[in-house]
């Protein structure tokens, strides 16, 4: 009888410890690492904004005890490649945009409360041969798996240093709750610097199982492991004052081929997002109207995976 009571007490004690264990040992993740890749190769095109590679580290900054605002800092390494529609053309007078590569470093801060998000970032970088764009694309097209045309990279943008500030404000409303929630957001943004100068209002709809603004993977928020699966539709209008990746540095550029961009551009986006424990997944289709008088509309795919730690 004593042995039975001892065993019963032991089992009961283990159950108490187990029930308390998640609260005692539950880990709070304050960091994340995102790998993102943009490409139009999946859509059997190879033109305009053709490749983008991003590595982003984020950390959650500790708010004060009486604060309802969440703060995050991020650091990104960025490489982007731009090509004309005909990558083997040798007469630059027939180009519909210049060959261009960009390599940059971005720092950003995000301030989020229950209904709004403010994001500010500073980008510095370089174009031209130091960006490595020509070397990356030529190496990719030379592989036996691709065995495609080798781009000429004639008349690419000359080496220039860039500095830019970007800011966006997001205001969000939840129209329906989970399990199939509906969110609507308005996100005006602007850019100022010698690389980009533009203003861009944007509207977005989110459908599916999604967390609140301060926790959702839709804005790469850290600290939550709530399961998510939703899709988003975005529509944006951009008025462009200057775009150096097409028309060169605003302070002067002697590149052999430059072209003025359309001042008005519409951008459409459809994406699917998911969060499984510490991992966020995202795939998006991005469509933009022609970027200049010679170009065609463009579509590319974004793939992203993020791990919290």
pLDDT tens string 70-82: 999 999 999 999 9
pLDDT of residue 5: 41
183-205 pLDDT, tens per residue?
Answer: 999 999 999 999 999 999 999 99
H or E element at residue 139: helix 133-142
Residue 142 inside a domain? The answer is yes
Residue 123 inside a domain? The answer is yes
pLDDT of residue 147: 56
Domain count, the chain: 1
Residue 21 inside a domain? The answer is no
Residue 5 inside a domain? The answer is no
218-253 pLDDT, tens per residue?
Answer: 999 998 899 999 999 999 999 999 999 999 999 999
Range of the domain at 285: 42-308
Taking the model in full, what pTM does it have?
0.88
Task: Kindly report the CATH number assigned to the domain that includes residue 122.
Answer: 2.40.128.140
Q: Which two tokens stand for residue 230?
A: 């939703």
Residue 34 inside a domain? The answer is no
Q: Provide the pLDDT confidence category of residue 7 given band limits of 50, 70 and 90.
A: very low
Least confident segment among 20-24, 60-64, 141-145, 201-205: 20-24
H helices of 250-303, where? none
Mean pLDDT (whole number) for 32-50: 91
Residue 136 inside a domain? The answer is yes
What whole-number distance in Å separates Cα of residue 222 and Cα of residue 111?
12
Please name the residues in contact with 172: beta carbons below 8 A apart, sequence gap of 6 or more. Answer: 115, 116, 117, 183, 184, 185, 213
Residue 130 inside a domain? The answer is yes
Residue 32 inside a domain? The answer is no
């Amino acid at each position: 009888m004593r042995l039975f009571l001892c065993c019963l007490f032991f089992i009961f004690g283990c159950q108490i410890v187990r029930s308390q264990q998640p609260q005692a040992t539950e880990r709070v993740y304050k960091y994340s690492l995102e790998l993102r890749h943009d490409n139009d190769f999946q859509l059997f095109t190879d033109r305009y904004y053709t490749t983008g590679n991003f590595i982003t580290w984020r950390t959650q900054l500790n708010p004060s005890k009486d604060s309802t605002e969440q703060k995050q800092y991020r650091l990104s390494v960025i490489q982007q490649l731009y090509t004309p529609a005909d990558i083997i053309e040798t007469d630059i007078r027939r180009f519909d945009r210049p060959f261009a590569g960009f390599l940059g470093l971005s720092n950003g801060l995000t301030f989020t409360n229950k209904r709004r998000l403010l994001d500010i970032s500073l980008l510095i970088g370089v174009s031209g041969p130091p960006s490595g764009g020509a070397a990356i694309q030529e190496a990719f097209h030379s592989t036996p798996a691709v065995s495609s045309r080798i781009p000429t990279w004639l008349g690419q943008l000359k080496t220039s240093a860039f500095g830019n500030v970007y800011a966006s404000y997001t205001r969000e409303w939840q129209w329906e709750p989970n399990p199939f929630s509906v969110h609507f957001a308005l996100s005006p943004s602007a850019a100022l610097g010698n690389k980009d100068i533009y203003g861009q209002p944007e509207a977005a709809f989110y459908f599916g199982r999604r967390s609140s603004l301060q926790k959702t993977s839709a804005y790469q928020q850290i600290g939550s492991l709530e399961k998510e699966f939703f899709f988003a539709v975005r529509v944006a209008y951009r008025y462009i004052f200057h775009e150096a990746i097409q028309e060169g540095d605003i302070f002067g550029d002697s590149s052999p081929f430059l072209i003025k961009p359309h001042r008005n551009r519409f951008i459409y986006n459809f994406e699917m997002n998911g969060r499984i424990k510490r991992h966020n997944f995202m795939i998006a289709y991005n469509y933009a109207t022609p970027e200049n008088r010679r170009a065609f509309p463009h579509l590319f795919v974004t793939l992203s995976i993020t791990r919290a730690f």
